[in-house]
Amino acid sequence: MDVVEVVPTFEQYAFTFGGVAPLMRIRPGTALRVWSDDAFCGALQKPTDLSSEKVDLRFVNPQTGPFFVEGAEPGDTLALHLVAMEPARDWGASAAIPFFGGLTSTDRVATLQEPLPDTTWIYELDRARNTVTFAARHTDLEIALPVEPMLGTVGVAPPGGEVRSSLVPERFGGNMDTPQMRPGATCFLGVNVEGALFSVGDGHYRQGEGEACGTAVEGAMTTTLVVELIKGGAPLWPRIEDDTHWMTVGSSRPLEDAWRIGQVELVRWFGELYGLHPMDAYQLLSQITEVPIANVVDANYSTVVKARKSLLPRATAYGGLHDDLRRRAATLR
Protein backbone atom coordinates (compact mmCIF):
# COMPACT_ATOMS: atom_id res chain seq x y z
CA MET A 1 0.00 0.00 0.00
CA ASP A 2 1.15 3.52 -0.78
CA VAL A 3 0.78 6.23 1.85
CA VAL A 4 -0.62 9.73 1.29
CA GLU A 5 1.43 12.33 3.17
CA VAL A 6 -0.46 15.26 4.74
CA VAL A 7 1.33 18.19 6.42
CA PRO A 8 -1.10 21.08 6.97
CA THR A 9 -0.25 24.74 7.33
CA PHE A 10 -1.56 26.69 10.32
CA GLU A 11 -4.27 28.17 8.11
CA GLN A 12 -5.47 24.64 7.29
CA TYR A 13 -5.95 23.50 10.90
CA ALA A 14 -9.47 22.76 12.09
CA PHE A 15 -10.38 23.80 15.63
CA THR A 16 -13.87 22.30 15.60
CA PHE A 17 -15.65 19.10 14.66
CA GLY A 18 -18.17 20.13 12.02
CA GLY A 19 -18.44 23.47 10.27
CA VAL A 20 -15.13 23.12 8.39
CA ALA A 21 -14.65 22.44 4.68
CA PRO A 22 -12.74 19.23 3.95
CA LEU A 23 -8.98 19.45 3.69
CA MET A 24 -8.89 16.47 1.32
CA ARG A 25 -11.12 13.85 -0.28
CA ILE A 26 -10.01 10.24 0.09
CA ARG A 27 -11.32 6.83 -0.88
CA PRO A 28 -11.94 3.99 1.58
CA GLY A 29 -8.81 1.91 1.89
CA THR A 30 -6.50 4.93 1.81
CA ALA A 31 -3.46 5.00 4.07
CA LEU A 32 -2.51 8.42 5.44
CA ARG A 33 0.59 9.71 7.16
CA VAL A 34 -0.50 12.96 8.82
CA TRP A 35 1.39 15.57 10.80
CA SER A 36 -0.47 17.24 13.67
CA ASP A 37 0.65 20.04 15.97
CA ASP A 38 0.47 19.88 19.74
CA ALA A 39 -2.50 21.16 21.72
CA PHE A 40 -0.81 24.53 22.25
CA CYS A 41 0.14 25.01 18.57
CA GLY A 42 3.78 24.92 19.65
CA ALA A 43 3.41 27.99 21.89
CA LEU A 44 5.04 26.42 24.98
CA GLN A 45 8.69 25.65 24.23
CA LYS A 46 10.50 26.38 27.49
CA PRO A 47 9.57 26.37 31.19
CA THR A 48 9.34 30.16 31.30
CA ASP A 49 6.60 30.14 28.61
CA LEU A 50 3.30 30.47 30.50
CA SER A 51 -0.04 29.44 29.05
CA SER A 52 -1.69 32.68 30.23
CA GLU A 53 0.81 34.66 28.16
CA LYS A 54 1.55 32.40 25.19
CA VAL A 55 -1.54 30.28 24.47
CA ASP A 56 -4.40 31.75 22.43
CA LEU A 57 -7.50 29.86 23.58
CA ARG A 58 -9.10 30.38 20.17
CA PHE A 59 -6.40 28.13 18.72
CA VAL A 60 -6.00 25.05 20.91
CA ASN A 61 -6.25 21.37 19.95
CA PRO A 62 -5.58 21.96 16.24
CA GLN A 63 -6.94 19.14 14.09
CA THR A 64 -5.49 17.76 10.89
CA GLY A 65 -8.47 17.38 8.58
CA PRO A 66 -11.31 17.05 8.10
CA PHE A 67 -11.07 14.32 5.50
CA PHE A 68 -14.05 13.62 3.23
CA VAL A 69 -14.40 9.86 2.80
CA GLU A 70 -16.01 9.08 -0.55
CA GLY A 71 -19.18 7.03 -0.23
CA ALA A 72 -19.66 7.68 3.49
CA GLU A 73 -23.27 8.41 4.40
CA PRO A 74 -25.12 8.91 7.68
CA GLY A 75 -25.62 5.54 9.38
CA ASP A 76 -22.38 4.06 8.03
CA THR A 77 -19.38 3.09 10.17
CA LEU A 78 -15.98 4.70 9.73
CA ALA A 79 -13.00 2.55 10.74
CA LEU A 80 -9.66 4.21 11.49
CA HIS A 81 -6.79 1.81 12.08
CA LEU A 82 -3.87 3.47 13.88
CA VAL A 83 -0.68 1.99 12.48
CA ALA A 84 2.15 4.08 13.93
CA MET A 85 2.81 7.31 15.85
CA GLU A 86 6.15 9.07 15.87
CA PRO A 87 6.99 12.18 17.92
CA ALA A 88 7.53 14.99 15.42
CA ARG A 89 9.53 17.21 17.81
CA ASP A 90 12.30 16.58 20.30
CA TRP A 91 10.26 17.93 23.20
CA GLY A 92 6.77 17.87 24.62
CA ALA A 93 5.06 20.34 26.93
CA SER A 94 2.66 20.04 29.83
CA ALA A 95 1.12 22.80 31.90
CA ALA A 96 -0.97 23.61 34.93
CA ILE A 97 -3.39 26.16 33.47
CA PRO A 98 -5.23 28.50 35.87
CA PHE A 99 -8.77 27.30 36.62
CA PHE A 100 -8.36 24.18 34.46
CA GLY A 101 -7.66 20.61 35.59
CA GLY A 102 -8.96 17.91 37.86
CA LEU A 103 -7.63 19.20 41.20
CA THR A 104 -8.45 22.90 41.05
CA SER A 105 -11.43 25.21 40.88
CA THR A 106 -12.83 25.52 37.35
CA ASP A 107 -15.59 27.44 35.62
CA ARG A 108 -17.90 24.47 36.31
CA VAL A 109 -16.59 23.51 39.75
CA ALA A 110 -16.57 26.97 41.25
CA THR A 111 -15.11 27.62 44.70
CA LEU A 112 -13.73 30.65 46.54
CA GLN A 113 -10.19 29.58 45.80
CA GLU A 114 -7.26 31.19 44.01
CA PRO A 115 -6.08 29.41 40.84
CA LEU A 116 -3.16 27.05 41.03
CA PRO A 117 0.02 28.74 39.75
CA ASP A 118 0.46 28.91 35.99
CA THR A 119 3.34 26.46 35.46
CA THR A 120 4.96 24.82 32.44
CA TRP A 121 7.06 21.65 32.26
CA ILE A 122 9.11 20.74 29.19
CA TYR A 123 9.84 17.06 28.57
CA GLU A 124 12.96 16.47 26.48
CA LEU A 125 12.73 13.52 24.09
CA ASP A 126 15.55 10.98 23.89
CA ARG A 127 14.91 9.15 20.61
CA ALA A 128 17.65 6.59 21.16
CA ARG A 129 16.18 5.53 24.51
CA ASN A 130 12.56 6.29 23.48
CA THR A 131 11.97 8.30 26.65
CA VAL A 132 10.76 11.72 27.73
CA THR A 133 12.26 13.24 30.86
CA PHE A 134 10.20 14.72 33.67
CA ALA A 135 12.19 17.56 35.24
CA ALA A 136 10.70 18.88 38.49
CA ARG A 137 10.34 22.67 38.68
CA HIS A 138 10.75 23.00 42.46
CA THR A 139 13.31 20.26 43.23
CA ASP A 140 16.19 18.56 41.42
CA LEU A 141 14.33 15.35 40.55
CA GLU A 142 14.48 14.05 36.97
CA ILE A 143 12.85 10.82 35.74
CA ALA A 144 13.07 9.30 32.26
CA LEU A 145 9.64 7.92 31.27
CA PRO A 146 8.89 5.62 28.33
CA VAL A 147 7.28 7.23 25.30
CA GLU A 148 3.77 5.79 24.91
CA PRO A 149 2.26 7.79 22.02
CA MET A 150 -1.48 8.30 21.62
CA LEU A 151 -3.95 10.69 20.02
CA GLY A 152 -6.16 12.77 22.27
CA THR A 153 -8.62 13.62 19.50
CA VAL A 154 -10.14 11.33 16.90
CA GLY A 155 -13.59 12.25 15.63
CA VAL A 156 -16.12 12.86 12.88
CA ALA A 157 -18.50 15.75 12.24
CA PRO A 158 -21.49 15.72 14.64
CA PRO A 159 -25.08 15.27 13.42
CA GLY A 160 -27.64 17.97 12.81
CA GLY A 161 -25.26 20.60 11.52
CA GLU A 162 -23.64 21.00 14.94
CA VAL A 163 -20.22 22.59 15.30
CA ARG A 164 -18.35 21.51 18.43
CA SER A 165 -15.04 22.67 19.83
CA SER A 166 -12.08 20.34 19.40
CA LEU A 167 -11.87 20.38 23.22
CA VAL A 168 -15.14 18.40 23.47
CA PRO A 169 -15.59 14.61 23.56
CA GLU A 170 -19.04 13.31 22.63
CA ARG A 171 -20.71 10.51 20.69
CA PHE A 172 -18.88 11.70 17.55
CA GLY A 173 -15.57 10.94 19.28
CA GLY A 174 -13.55 14.12 19.63
CA ASN A 175 -11.31 14.96 22.56
CA MET A 176 -11.64 11.65 24.40
CA ASP A 177 -8.04 11.74 25.67
CA THR A 178 -7.81 7.99 26.13
CA PRO A 179 -4.42 6.22 26.09
CA GLN A 180 -6.25 3.37 24.31
CA MET A 181 -6.13 5.46 21.09
CA ARG A 182 -2.67 4.17 20.28
CA PRO A 183 -0.86 2.23 17.55
CA GLY A 184 -2.48 -1.12 16.87
CA ALA A 185 -6.01 0.03 17.72
CA THR A 186 -8.95 0.32 15.34
CA CYS A 187 -11.53 2.99 16.17
CA PHE A 188 -15.10 2.63 14.88
CA LEU A 189 -17.19 5.80 14.63
CA GLY A 190 -20.75 6.32 13.42
CA VAL A 191 -20.99 8.55 10.34
CA ASN A 192 -23.31 11.52 10.83
CA VAL A 193 -22.85 13.58 7.64
CA GLU A 194 -21.96 12.88 4.03
CA GLY A 195 -18.24 12.13 3.78
CA ALA A 196 -17.89 11.54 7.57
CA LEU A 197 -15.47 14.52 7.79
CA PHE A 198 -13.06 12.99 10.27
CA SER A 199 -10.01 14.66 11.76
CA VAL A 200 -7.25 13.70 14.19
CA GLY A 201 -4.79 15.52 16.43
CA ASP A 202 -3.78 16.35 19.99
CA GLY A 203 -0.78 14.04 20.06
CA HIS A 204 0.47 12.94 23.47
CA TYR A 205 3.92 11.43 23.98
CA ARG A 206 2.45 9.88 27.11
CA GLN A 207 -0.49 10.47 29.46
CA GLY A 208 -1.72 9.02 32.72
CA GLU A 209 -5.30 7.78 32.90
CA GLY A 210 -7.57 10.69 33.76
CA GLU A 211 -5.14 13.37 32.48
CA ALA A 212 -5.39 14.81 36.00
CA CYS A 213 -3.82 18.26 35.53
CA GLY A 214 -5.62 18.76 32.22
CA THR A 215 -2.63 18.33 29.93
CA ALA A 216 -0.54 15.32 28.91
CA VAL A 217 2.98 15.45 27.49
CA GLU A 218 1.61 17.39 24.54
CA GLY A 219 3.61 16.98 21.36
CA ALA A 220 3.50 17.29 17.59
CA MET A 221 2.91 13.86 16.06
CA THR A 222 3.28 12.03 12.77
CA THR A 223 0.52 9.43 12.63
CA THR A 224 0.07 6.67 10.08
CA LEU A 225 -3.46 5.31 9.75
CA VAL A 226 -5.61 3.31 7.35
CA VAL A 227 -9.16 4.49 6.61
CA GLU A 228 -11.97 2.07 5.83
CA LEU A 229 -15.74 2.35 5.47
CA ILE A 230 -18.46 -0.11 6.48
CA LYS A 231 -21.88 0.46 4.97
CA GLY A 232 -24.45 0.67 7.76
CA GLY A 233 -24.03 -0.56 11.32
CA ALA A 234 -23.15 2.81 12.85
CA PRO A 235 -22.42 2.54 16.59
CA LEU A 236 -24.05 5.13 18.83
CA TRP A 237 -20.74 5.80 20.61
CA PRO A 238 -17.08 5.21 19.73
CA ARG A 239 -15.87 1.63 19.76
CA ILE A 240 -12.24 0.48 19.82
CA GLU A 241 -10.81 -2.93 19.03
CA ASP A 242 -7.20 -3.98 19.46
CA ASP A 243 -5.54 -7.40 19.59
CA THR A 244 -6.45 -7.93 23.24
CA HIS A 245 -9.68 -6.04 24.07
CA TRP A 246 -13.14 -4.96 22.99
CA MET A 247 -13.67 -1.35 24.13
CA THR A 248 -16.32 1.35 24.16
CA VAL A 249 -16.04 5.02 25.12
CA GLY A 250 -18.65 7.11 26.92
CA SER A 251 -18.37 10.87 27.41
CA SER A 252 -20.60 12.99 29.62
CA ARG A 253 -20.85 14.81 32.95
CA PRO A 254 -21.07 13.66 35.70
CA LEU A 255 -18.45 10.94 35.42
CA GLU A 256 -20.87 8.14 36.32
CA ASP A 257 -22.97 8.99 33.24
CA ALA A 258 -19.88 8.56 31.04
CA TRP A 259 -19.38 5.18 32.75
CA ARG A 260 -23.02 4.22 32.11
CA ILE A 261 -22.80 5.15 28.42
CA GLY A 262 -19.70 3.00 27.93
CA GLN A 263 -21.28 0.08 29.79
CA VAL A 264 -24.51 0.22 27.78
CA GLU A 265 -22.61 0.47 24.48
CA LEU A 266 -20.54 -2.61 25.33
CA VAL A 267 -23.72 -4.52 26.27
CA ARG A 268 -25.07 -3.61 22.82
CA TRP A 269 -21.83 -4.64 21.10
CA PHE A 270 -21.80 -8.01 22.90
CA GLY A 271 -25.29 -8.58 21.55
CA GLU A 272 -23.81 -8.22 18.07
CA LEU A 273 -20.60 -10.17 18.78
CA TYR A 274 -22.05 -13.12 20.69
CA GLY A 275 -25.81 -12.95 20.15
CA LEU A 276 -26.29 -12.34 23.87
CA HIS A 277 -29.55 -11.16 25.40
CA PRO A 278 -28.94 -7.73 27.04
CA MET A 279 -29.46 -9.19 30.54
CA ASP A 280 -26.88 -11.93 29.91
CA ALA A 281 -24.41 -9.43 28.47
CA TYR A 282 -25.02 -7.16 31.48
CA GLN A 283 -24.26 -10.02 33.86
CA LEU A 284 -21.17 -11.25 32.00
CA LEU A 285 -19.67 -7.79 31.62
CA SER A 286 -20.29 -7.07 35.29
CA GLN A 287 -17.71 -9.77 36.04
CA ILE A 288 -15.00 -9.08 33.46
CA THR A 289 -14.78 -5.39 32.50
CA GLU A 290 -11.96 -2.99 33.25
CA VAL A 291 -12.91 0.70 33.24
CA PRO A 292 -9.97 3.10 32.92
CA ILE A 293 -10.85 6.76 33.21
CA ALA A 294 -9.77 8.57 30.07
CA ASN A 295 -10.20 12.17 31.24
CA VAL A 296 -11.82 14.09 34.08
CA VAL A 297 -10.92 17.56 32.82
CA ASP A 298 -12.58 18.21 29.45
CA ALA A 299 -15.96 19.73 28.67
CA ASN A 300 -17.25 16.18 29.09
CA TYR A 301 -15.52 13.43 31.04
CA SER A 302 -14.67 10.15 29.27
CA THR A 303 -14.40 6.55 30.43
CA VAL A 304 -13.39 3.42 28.53
CA VAL A 305 -15.09 0.09 29.21
CA LYS A 306 -12.85 -2.86 28.24
CA ALA A 307 -13.44 -6.61 27.95
CA ARG A 308 -10.42 -8.88 27.57
CA LYS A 309 -10.64 -11.12 24.50
CA SER A 310 -8.70 -13.94 26.16
CA LEU A 311 -11.60 -14.50 28.57
CA LEU A 312 -14.11 -14.95 25.76
CA PRO A 313 -14.89 -17.21 22.80
CA ARG A 314 -13.41 -15.94 19.56
CA ALA A 315 -15.60 -13.38 17.80
CA THR A 316 -15.19 -10.96 14.92
CA ALA A 317 -16.57 -7.45 14.51
CA TYR A 318 -17.45 -5.89 11.17
CA GLY A 319 -16.42 -9.02 9.26
CA GLY A 320 -13.02 -9.25 10.94
CA LEU A 321 -11.99 -5.80 9.71
CA HIS A 322 -9.50 -5.15 12.53
CA ASP A 323 -7.46 -8.25 11.65
CA ASP A 324 -7.63 -7.37 7.96
CA LEU A 325 -6.41 -3.84 8.63
CA ARG A 326 -3.55 -5.19 10.72
CA ARG A 327 -2.48 -7.30 7.73
CA ARG A 328 -2.78 -4.38 5.34
CA ALA A 329 -0.81 -2.13 7.68
CA ALA A 330 2.12 -4.54 7.48
CA THR A 331 2.40 -3.86 3.73
CA LEU A 332 2.69 -0.08 3.99
CA ARG A 333 5.68 1.57 2.30
Q: How far is the C-alpha of 333 from the C-alpha of 326, rounded, in Å?
A: 14
Q: Is residue 324 part of a domain?
A: no
Residue of 241, 250, 234 whose CA lies nearest to 191:
234
pTM: 0.97
Does the pLDDT value for residue 2 go beyond 90? no
DSSP bridge partners of 211:
none
Q: Is residue 199 part of a domain?
A: no
Does the pLDDT value for residue 107 go beyond 90? no
Q: Is residue 286 part of a domain?
A: yes
Enclosing domain of residue 249: 239-316
Pinpoint the alpha helices (H) of the chain: 51-54, 255-274, 278-288, 321-329
Q: Is residue 176 part of a domain?
A: no
Residue of 169, 199, 209 whose CA lies nearest to 300:
169
pLDDT tens for each residue of 59-105: 999 999 999 999 999 999 999 999 999 999 999 999 999 999 999 98
Backbone angles phi, psi at 239, to 5 degrees: -120, 150
Q: Is residue 234 part of a domain?
A: no
How many domains does the chain fold into?
A: 1
Residue of 101, 124, 116, 118 whose CA lies nearest to 50:
118
CATH number, domain with residue 245: 3.10.28.20
Q: Is residue 190 part of a domain?
A: no
pLDDT tens for each residue of 168-183: 999 999 999 999 999 9
Q: Is residue 103 part of a domain?
A: no
Q: Is residue 45 part of a domain?
A: no
pLDDT tens for each residue of 188-202: 999 999 999 999 999
